[in-house]
Amino acid sequence: MKQSTLSKLLAFSLFFMAMWFFGNLYEEIVLTPNQLVNTYEKLQHWHQFFTVSNPIFFYVPFTLLAPVVLCVLYFKISDPAMKNLLKWASIFSVVGTLVSVAIITQINVKIFFGDIDKYRDQLYDLTVIWLIGNAIRICFVGVSLYYTLRAYVLCQVKKS
C-alpha cells in the first residue's frame, strides 16, 4: 500500500474515531447526567427537541466506517510496528462497536427512540445502565483512538 494512501486512510480513521470518542464523552459528561433527575420529563423534552435532526446523523455512517478501515489496514500492512498498532486499534474499535450495538439495541431504542410511556418505570434504571455502558464504550474507543493516533504519527514519520 502506498504511504500516501495509508496516511489518508489513517487520517480518516483518526478523525472519526476522535469524533466518536468526544461525542460519547460529551454525552457522558454533559447530556445524560441531566436525565438522572426527573427522568421521564427530561426524556419527554428530549423527544420534543429532536424533531428535524437526530444524534444518529452525527455517528452514522462514518464512525462505523473507521473501525472497518482500521481492520482492513491491519490486514493490508506488512510493517511489523504499524501492524501491531493497527491490531490494537482494530481490536478496541471492534469491541467499542459491539458495546455500541448492545447499548443501541437494548437501551437507546427504549429511552431515546421508543415509546417512553411504555418504559416509564424503567427510565431511570435504563439511564444509569446507559451511563455505565457508555463509560465502558468510551474506554474502548479511547484506547483505539490512542493506537490510531500512534499509527498515524508513525506513518507521518515514515513519510518524511
| SS3 at position 74 | helix
80-115: per-residue pLDDT in tens? 999 999 999 999 999 999 999 999 999 999 999 889
Q: What is the pLDDT of residue 55?
A: 83
When the pLDDT of each residue in the chain is averaged and rounded to a whole number, the result is 95
Residue 115, burial from CB neighbour count under 10 angstroms (0-12, 13-18, 19+):
exposed
Whether the pLDDT of residue 61 is over 90: the answer is no
Provide the pLDDT confidence category of residue 51 given band limits of 50, 70 and 90: confident
What integer is the mean pLDDT of 3-25? Answer: 97
Q: What is the pLDDT of residue 62?
A: 85
What integer is the mean pLDDT of 23-42? Answer: 97
Q: Which amino acid is at 83?
A: K
Higher per-residue confidence, 101 vs 58: 101
Which cell numbers in the block locate residue 74?
491491519
35: Cα separation from own chain's centroid: 20
Whether the pLDDT of residue 52 is over 90: the answer is no
